[in-house]
Structure 1
Amino acid sequence: MNIGLDMMGGDFAPLEAVKGLQLYMQGNDHAASVFCIGDEAIVNPLLEEYGLSASPNLRVVHAPETIGYHEPPTKALKEKQRSSIAIGFYLLATGKIDAFISAGNTGAMLVGAMFNIKVTEGVLRPTIATIIPKLDGSTGLLLDVGLNSDCKPEQLNQFAILGSLYAKHMLGVAQPKVGLVNMGEEEGKGNMLAQATYPLLAENSHIYFIGNIEGRDILNEKADVMVCDGFTGNIILKLAETFYDITRERGYGNDGYFSRFHYENYGGTPVLGVNKPVVIGHGISTAKAFQNMIHEAEKMIQSDLCGKMANEFKS
């Protein structure tokens, strides 16, 4: 199992990426082989400082260029072929690695995933999802959360399938309940997109559709997979991200429920609907976040999630 890690992506890279690697390697006798993609002159001294330079599970791949956060993604990937993100996708596309992780330029990661790795056959548009902690202790999945601001009903219908597969094979939900995020429970509610999507989900034999869910249902156990367009999903995601900050400021940072909203517990955001595992991390990723991103990529490889998604859309 070979995982590519962009050492140069993130506000605190490469230091936090190295610290995350150290956390991952500690006491892990079955660690994956990690390809550390970045500037050797910067990465190698840090690996040595943190006692990782002699690890047989690590291999440094020199990438002297970095794609900045504000660079146009397509242009940057084309012009910076020696950047850590471009080299990472090259290694993934050519089979040298089995998954690729980066907390760098999100746009470049999405462009690379769609054009270097390619969209799964039969999938109209890939999607990105986020974990939602539930009040009963379970974990839900919300998608799309920003990749597709404007969606068609057929795309939301496919997001439900992709989300259900992720919930089943990554979150351990035997029969994920799918809900359509809407402004009311009754069929016929909502805007034109929601009204047109409802019957498609109701007729979809690949999922267990329970109907519409409202904003009040996002955090309860009513649905395991919550489907919406990326515009709505991103607003919900950004609102949820503030919960941890507010509770911490008010002295409830150690609360068992609200602490689950801290992004670093989940690592990164998977790109669903592409042919190989790609995980995008938060720009402010810390060591724990990088550690969990590696674990997520590891689990995606072990479960053959991308292969299962490909098979689902062939049937």
Structure 2
Amino acid sequence: MKRIAIDAMGGDHAPKAVVEGVNQALASYNDIEIILYGDETKIREHLTATERVSIVHTDEKINSDDEPAKAIRQKKQASMVLAAKAVKDGEADAVLSAGNTGALLAAGLFVVGRIKGIDRPGLLSTLPSMGGQGFDMLDLGANAESTAKYLHQYAILGSFYAKNVRGVANPRIGLLNNGTEASKGDPLRKETYQLLSEDSTLNFIGNIEARELLNGVADVVVTDGFTGNAVLKTVEGTALSIMGQLKSSINAGGLRAKLGALLLKPSLMTLKQTLDYSDAGGAVLFGLKAPVVKAHGSSDAKSIVSTIRQIRTMLETDVVGQSVQEFSRIEE
């Protein structure tokens, strides 16, 4: 049985969206057990599942505007902290939260702990591409500043994730840069390029440009956290803007536009699904001793189900355990 500790109070629509997602996930997967942390009265208002789910009550929670490290130290009974502690104590196998990103990163580092050999865990997420296969990208904001060694480690971690969670046999690793030539970029990008080129265990395809990301040019994209977070927000914003603009144009276009939209409905739905990042699950703080996954703050029940499915796959394939073995080998 795969045991998942969930911060029921994290996110814009908590606990309703979180608990409704848990209800659906428990109905879909009979090999998971959920432990919900938060206000029991509020959780039970939405909880319909009766088996393989338990509640650990706490009135304390970490707010979106709390200073991350300080909140982890001072709010020891917060739902997020208790969920992370459950993994540390062996009571759960993974943590899920849609709450304060910085606090979850701090809880992952200080409570769950990082894998020996990993200097800085990175935030990884699967983003949509036009072909539908998607791509994994890290770091998406765990570390604003990086070294070439960190980026090399992200390439190894990303390759592991793509193989084990997404089933990509030989993931193509791309380094995000301002040009495709090997000589392009600042000192960080040039040094990283050299390290990735010399690692024969990676399928490194070279530098890639941001404009090619959604075309599926690579299966794993490596970058520093500042750049990665900016790209993530741009992709999310672009997807929402495109769908919003289409809807506005159809509504303003009169009867002819509405008839055309009706005929194109299957194609428009396919486009929406292609651009919908919520289907891929949450962002993984990769490089820790257990799966710690951050769902989007605005997650609805559908997004929570997708994230639980993602965690279930991570546990099933033991991607974290394999990462531990790989970095132990590298250290030796």
Counterpart code for 1:127: G
Preserved CA contact (<8 Å) 2:127 2:277: no
Q: Quick check: 248-257 or 208-217, which moved more?
A: 248-257
Please name the residue that 2:250 is paired with.
Answer: none
Are 2:211 and 1:216 aligned? yes
Offset of residue 258 of structure 1: 4.4
CA distance in structure 2 between the aligned counterparts of 1:8 and 1:262, rounded to whole angstroms: 24
Residue 264 in structure 1 maps to residue 278 in structure 2:
yes
SS at match of 1:68: coil
Counterpart of 1:165 in structure 2 is 160
The aligned residue for residue 317 of structure 2 is 303
Gaps in structure 1 of 5+ consecutive residues: none
Q: Percent identity?
A: 36
**Rounded Cα–Cα distance in structure 2 between residues aligned with 1:304 and 1:5:** 19
User: Which residue does the alignment assign to 1:72?
Assistant: 67
Contact 1:267 1:288 survives alignment (8 Å): no
Partner of 1:193: 188
Question: Structure 1 residues 29, 12: CA separation in 2 closer, same or farther (over 3 Å shift)?
Answer: closer
| Change beyond 3 A, Cα 1:29–1:238 | closer
Cα distance in structure 2, aligned partners of 1:82 and 1:280? 19
Larger radius of gyration: 2
The alignment's TM-score, normalised by the length of structure 2, stands at 0.89
Paired amino acid for 1:11: D
Structure showing the higher helix proportion among its residues: 2
List per-residue Cα deviations over 1:214-264 (Å, max 9, x = no partner): 122211232111111111111111110012211221236944244333332
Q: Kindly indicate whether residue 57 of structure 2 is the aligned counterpart of residue 62 of structure 1.
A: yes
Deviation at 1:142, TM superposition (A): 1.2
CA distance in structure 2 between the aligned counterparts of 1:75 and 1:183, rounded to whole angstroms? 37
CA contact (8 A) 1:179 1:227 kept: yes
Three-state SS of the structure 1 residue aligned to 2:42 is helix
Q: SS at the partner of 1:10? A: coil
Q: CA deviation at 1:29?
A: 5.4
What does 1:78-89 align with in structure 2 at a 5 Å threshold?
78-89=73-84
| Residue type at the aligned position of 1:175 | N
Root mean square deviation of aligned Cα: 1.5
Matches within 5 A, 1:87-166: 87-166=82-161
State the distance in 1 between where 2:278 and 2:53 align: 23
> Separation in 2 of the partners of 1:156 and 1:219?
21
What letter matches 2:45 in structure 1? P
Partner of 1:33: 33
Q: In the alignment, is residue 45 of structure 1 matched against residue 45 of structure 2?
A: yes
Partner residue of 1:283 out of 283, 290, 297:
297
Task: Specify the alignment match of 1:294 in structure 2.
Answer: 308
Deviations 1:146-181 (A, max 9, x none): 111111011101100000000100111000011111
Taking the aligned partners of 2:100 and 2:80, their CA distance within structure 1 comes to 8
Conserved 8 A contact 2:129-2:275: no
What TM-score comes out, normalization by structure 1 length? Answer: 0.94
8 Å contact kept, 1:139–1:171: no
Q: Is the 8 A contact 1:244 1:259 kept in 2?
A: no
Distance 2:243 2:215 in 1: 22
Structure 2 unaligned segments of length 5 or more: list them.
248-264
Tell me by how many angstroms 1:44 deviates.
2.0
Q: Does 1:273 align with 2:287?
A: yes
Runs of 4+ in 1 over 6 A off after TM superposition: none
> Aligned with 2:215: secondary structure?
coil
